[in-house]
Amino acid sequence: MSAAEPILSVRGLSRRFGAIAAVREVSFDLWPGEVMGVVGESGSGKTTLLHLVSGSLRPDAGTVLFRDRQGAMQDIQAMSEPARRMLARTDWGIVHQNPRDGLRMNVSAGANVGERLMAVGARHYGNIRGAAEDWLARVEMDLGRIDDLPRTFSGGMQQRLQIARTLVTHPRLVFMDEPTGGLDVSVQARLLDLIRNLVAVLGLSAIIVTHDLAVTRLLAHRLMVMQRGQVVETGLTDQVLDDPQHPYTQLLVSSVLAA
């Protein structure tokens, strides 16, 4: 697989909810190792787009092709349910905005990290525990809390746990929906630093949906601006943020409060 071939190829993706066109004719490619940010105001279709691309929602029209480990392009919609589930636990990872959606709140942190391993067939307790400890250390969590329930964790710790749980099976493509939403600024900064490091070290491809332009400036190589279900502008992050072309993007960039 060369970097010249996209890992994800989206063409003409559309989805309506009744009279509302949530996503209209979205097309893009994502290359290996690339982090793409999707920005826009609330209700602009960012999260729906993420659901469509990750296969949890069926589009009305359009295709999503994903390059598997063998290098073949797979049509996500045409895949069988078991194959798609397998893909979602091995090659993909999803980090939800609310860690409660991504974590099992009634089992310990270690079990949360180990769940994906057990789901793909790991049956050696010592190895699963070792992997859980390794990943908790990598997301800078205290190993003494490996047997604690996630609900006893702070918001930032829950989010880090969710990231550990997602990355334990070494996915190649990670979807993040507002990964820093609801966290205070200092925790946000640490989390962003962590995500940036992990993405760089592991060579992940990622799609990050956010309304926070500062997050995209730190993490994303490329930016896609959405308004009312349509992509109004794409380009390199710095280029879009420093020289916005579309009136909506200009509004978005100018409305950021300078600290």
Partner 1 sequence: MDTLPARPATDPGYNFGYLDEQTKRMIRRALLKAVAIPGYQVPFGSREMPLPYGWGTGGIQITASIIGPADTLKVIDQGADDTTNAVSIRRFFARVAGVATTERTAVATIIQTRHRIPERPLSAGQILVYQVPQPEPLRQLEPREAEARKMHALADYGLMHVKLYEDIARFGRIATSYNYPVMVNGRYLMAPSPIPAFDNPKMHRMAALQLFGAGREKRIYAVPPHTEVQSLDFDDHPFKVWRADRCCDLCGAPDSYLDEVVTDDKGGRMFVCSDTDHCAERRGAGHRGPLAGHALQEIAEGKS
Residue 91 found at the interface with partner 1 (CB under 8 A): no
| DSSP state string for the chain | --TTS-SEEEEEEEEEETTEEEEEEEEEEE-TT-EEEEE--TTSSHHHHHHHHTTSS--SEEEEEEE-TTS-EEETTTS-HHHHHHHHHHTEEEE-SSHHHHS-TTS-HHHHHHHHHHHTT---HHHHHHHHHHHHHHTT--GGGTTS-GGGS-HHHHHHHHHHHHHTT--SEEEEESTTTT--HHHHHHHHHHHHHHHHHHT-EEEEEES-HHHHHHH-SEEEEEETTEEEEEEEHHHHHHS--SHHHHHHHHTSPP-
Q: How far is the CB of 121 from partner 1 (least distance, A)?
A: 8
Which residue in the set 2, 4, 42, 82 belongs to the binding site for partner 1 (CB under 8 A)?
A: 82
Interface with partner 1 in residues 123-182 (CB under 8 A): 123-126, 128-129, 146-147
Which residue in the set 40, 99, 114, 244 belongs to the binding site for partner 1 (CB under 8 A)?
A: 114
Q: How far is CA 79 from CA 15, 61, 83, 107, 137, in A?
A: 19, 16, 6, 31, 35
Which residue in the set 108, 169, 234, 239 belongs to the binding site for partner 1 (CB under 8 A)?
A: 108
Q: How far is the CB of 129 from partner 1 (least distance, A)?
A: 8
Q: Judged by CB under 8 A, how many residues of this single chain contact partner 1?
A: 22
Choose the stretch contacting partner 1; rule: CB under 8 A; options: 42-50, 51-59, 122-130, 174-182. 122-130
Q: How far is the CB of 125 from partner 1 (least distance, A)?
A: 4
Of 104 and 196, which has the nearer Cβ to partner 1? 104
Which residue in the set 18, 71, 121, 203 belongs to the binding site for partner 1 (CB under 8 A)?
A: 121
Q: How far is the CB of 114 from partner 1 (least distance, A)?
A: 6
Site string for partner 1, 50-69 (x = CB under 8 A): --------------------
Choose the stretch contacting partner 1; rule: CB under 8 A; options: 3-11, 77-85, 199-207, 240-248. 77-85
Give residues in contact with partner 1 (CB under 8 A).
81-82, 85, 104, 107-108, 110-111, 114-115, 118-121, 123-126, 128-129, 146-147
